[in-house]
Amino acid sequence: MENLKVVQFDFGFECKPISAKEKVVKPTKKDKSDFVFDFMDCLASPIIVFKSAWQDTIPKDILGRIKLSRIICSMTHEKMASLTEALAYIMPRTYEAPMQTEWVNIYTWLGLQYAMQSRNNGQLEAMTEIAPKELSDYEMGMLNNLRKWIYDKRRKALKDILKKNKVSKEDGILDIQEKLF
């Protein structure tokens, strides 16, 4: 073992360190317009609820928190409706007729999440007694499908609103701003 021969391989990799200037990616016009549309989506999109005679019974505090919850979802890059929106969608449906067990679990779990978010002690105590602590994988899949569906409907409705409203010729601002403010 005295004549041990050692060979070192040279793969020829000569890499220059990446400078900070090369890492900077300039946003494109599409990225900027997507940001603007996403922001408009959070603030100006209609609230999608189950079509029912009971759709006017959704409490105002839930409706008031939807825009904030949309912004939070947008900041976390979720391409789904918020839990508060899903709660507002299901609420009128609960008054129509009895629902399947899975949807009852989803609805009560959403109510528990809302109560924890709003920090209403009386509401939180009532919800902890009846709501499941966590949803099964199947129920979570059903909820996520509903959230994606609401998100798609909401964005489509905003696009339709923007198509209807023309850009004014003198200043280039959408006429929708008069209706929003």
3 falls within a domain: no
Q: Which residues of the chain are under the pLDDT cut of 70?
A: 1-27, 29-33, 166-181
101 falls within a domain: yes
17 falls within a domain: no
11 falls within a domain: no
Q: How far apart are CA 139 and CA 127, in angstroms?
A: 18
168 falls within a domain: yes
150 falls within a domain: yes
pLDDT tens digits, one per residue of 70-120? 999 988 888 999 999 999 999 999 998 899 999 999 999 998 888 888 777
C-alpha distances (whole Å) from 103 to each of 40, 116, 136, 139 are 31, 20, 12, 8
Q: How far apart are CA 149 and CA 86, in angstroms?
A: 10
SS (H, E, C) 47-67: CCCCCCCCHHHCCHHHHHHHH
pLDDT at 181: 46
pLDDT at 52: 85
pLDDT at 33: 66
Number of domains in the chain: 1
38 falls within a domain: no
pLDDT at 12: 63
- Domain assignment of residue 86, given as a range: 48-180
